[in-house]
Amino acid sequence: MGSRASAEKMANIPLSRSQVFGELRKELHDDKEFHESDAHVFIIMGASFQDGMNSKAGDLAKKKIYPTLWWLFRDGLLPEQTYFVGFARSNLTVDAIRAACMPYLKVADTESERLSAFFQRNTYISGKYDDESSFSKLDTHITSLPGGPDANRLFYLALPPTVYHEVTRNIKHCCMSKKGWNRVIVEKPFGHDLQSSEELSAHLSALFTEEQIYRIDHYLGKEMVQNLMVLRFGNRIFGPIWNRDSVACVVLTFKEPFGTKGRGGYFNDFGIIRDVMQNHLLQMLCLVAMEKPASTSSDDVRDEKVKVLKCIAPVSMSEVVLGQYVGDPEGEGDAKLGYLDDPTVPKGSTQATFATAVLYVHNERWDGVPFILRCGKALNERKAEVRLQFTDVPGDIFGNQCRRNELVVRVQPNEAVYAKMMSKKPGVYFSPEETELDLTYKSRYKDVKLPDAYERLILDVFCGSQMHFVRSDELREAWRIFTPLLHQIDNEKPKPTLYKYGSRGPTEADDLAKRVGFRYEGTYKWVNPHRL
């Protein structure tokens, strides 16, 4: 992996568009299939905002995919000859798409001409997902664009899983580029459990090669998630303590301060474990726990992730706490409403909106170290982080005044890496005091604009880099770890512990973390140096 120095370069030195793209390609391992003059067509399957099949799919296209393509186009990061085609069931015009996306595009006053240029590169075709002739029509249209039948084609499936099978089959039969490459970007959920995921994988692998399939877990596109490998393997100071001799536990956290917001229908079919824990948190766990890969090539990295997953036994119900939020009568607005007050949630649902689970990696490095995964909606704050809590200092000479060290990689908001440590209380004293070594991105990298996760990932697909995408064997292992627990929950429907909207979640989750070895002292106070 290169340094992604291009991000800084983009901020400081005006490079021509294809130069920047060329640089990124070099960093992301030269794409042998790429030629400078090649035309590319990006096809958004499910670009509809009106057919109401699944609010998540339409939402994704409008809120994420079109805006991301616009930002990449605006910043000149795409190959010169790139065209965009929307495909869905509704009768839509490009103008209607533009209007629907507008609130999410973040267009500056000076960019309106560029925005028009972007939408001039856009077209839309309506058709049925299960109808081959619709896909032939789509193919005829793509072929009419610059590059003709040989343009490279990227298919983004922003679709509900119910239509994956037929859409991918129709793409394969009717829409493949003749001489250019074809890449298919698949969004989660990748199935519902091990069996359904295996079925989907078997279906996809009968149609496409693994090199053509890009399974997105957008957490792999986040700056600090990508930084985990550099922090671990680019520094001497962490390597020797990154193991069971020094680490007491690892805590991986995802918290959101809002509830399901009308997406309860979709969410209720999945629950927080399938929505966040089995993918986003488990991916972060892999990057924290895996061994150093032989190189930064996509497959070397993913080989190590698979190896570490293979060392994890299925999660046991006895090491899980499930929660569901209820409204806070004293809260404001949405906070008054509980999960069951969402009209799209079935009455009496026992679906979990919060979960804490403890996993163990049974290998030489991690044996006995608990990995505590915590995630929830309608909590007290927005936060995603990785926290390593180190063991007590052996042979204490400071009368029990020292607290455990912690290394925290905060993924969001306000990217930061900080190490909580003891230092002499400044002045005439000689007692230890809690403080931190602090790398806060906003202060250290003032002028660097960090790209959104989707920007990086879509660019990676153009560049042919699969490092930050989920391979099928990785997915299989992830489902193997969670499927027995999920089936038990689906069958037995245990009642989740209720927690108040805006709280830290059920206290039972803190009790579980404590029981397996996490220590919270409540003594650490952070003084933000920028507010002094």
End-to-end CA distance of the chain: 38
Q: How many CA atoms lie within 13 A of 115 on its CB side?
A: 18
Number of residues that bind ligand NDP (CB under 6 A): 15
Map the footprint of ligand NDP across residues 409-428, applying CB under 6 A: 414, 416, 418
For residues 22 and 76, give the distance between their C-alpha atoms in angstroms, rounded to a whole number.
Answer: 11
Between residues 406 and 452, which has the closer beta carbon with respect to ligand BG6? 452
Buried b (16+ CB within 10 A) or exposed e, 79-98: bebbbbbbbbbbebeeeebb
Rg (CA), the chain: 24
Asked about 280 being catalytic, the answer comes back as yes
Say if residues 204 and 185 touch (Cβ distance below 8 Å): no
Q: How far is the CB of 56 from ligand BG6 (least distance, A)?
A: 7
Q: Which does 275 bind (CB under 5 to 8 A by kind): ligand NDP, ligand BG6, none?
A: ligand BG6
Between residues 163 and 249, which has the closer beta carbon with respect to ligand NDP? 249
Work out whether 438 is an interface residue with ligand NDP (CB under 6 A). Answer: yes
Q: Which does 134 bind (CB under 5 to 8 A by kind): ligand BG6, ligand NDP, none?
A: none
8-state DSSP, 292: P
Work out whether 44 is an interface residue with ligand NDP (CB under 6 A). Answer: no
For residues 53 and 162, give the distance between their C-alpha atoms in angstroms, rounded to a whole number.
Answer: 10
Between residues 434 and 455, which has the closer beta carbon with respect to ligand NDP? 434
Q: How far is the CB of 392 from ligand NDP (least distance, A)?
A: 16
Q: How far is the CB of 256 from ligand BG6 (least distance, A)?
A: 6
Binding site for ligand BG6 (CB under 6 A): 218, 256, 275-276, 384
For residues 21 and 215, give the distance between their C-alpha atoms in angstroms, rounded to a whole number.
Answer: 22
Between residues 125 and 384, which has the closer beta carbon with respect to ligand BG6? 384
Work out whether 520 is an interface residue with ligand NDP (CB under 6 A). Answer: yes
For residues 220 and 260, give the distance between their C-alpha atoms in angstroms, rounded to a whole number.
Answer: 23
Between residues 218 and 305, which has the closer beta carbon with respect to ligand BG6? 218
Among 218, 280, 362, 487, the active-site one is 280
8-state DSSP, 368: T
Between residues 38 and 256, which has the closer beta carbon with respect to ligand BG6? 256
Q: How far is the CB of 189 from ligand BG6 (least distance, A)?
A: 9
Q: Which residues touch 211 (CB under 8 Å, ≥6 apart)?
A: 466
Work out whether 526 is an interface residue with ligand NDP (CB under 6 A). Answer: yes
Q: How far is the CB of 256 from ligand NDP (least distance, A)?
A: 12
Say if residues 291 and 367 touch (Cβ distance below 8 Å): no
- In three-state secondary structure terms, 371 is strand
Map the footprint of ligand NDP across residues 89-148, applying CB under 6 A: none
Say if residues 106 and 67 touch (Cβ distance below 8 Å): yes
Residue type for position 299? D
What is the crossing angle of helices 164-174 and 132-144, to 10°?
50
Q: How far is the CB of 317 from ligand BG6 (least distance, A)?
A: 23
- Interface residues with ligand NDP (CB under 6 A) are 251, 253, 387, 408, 414, 416, 418, 436, 438, 440, 504, 510, 520, 524, 526
Residues identified as active-site: 280
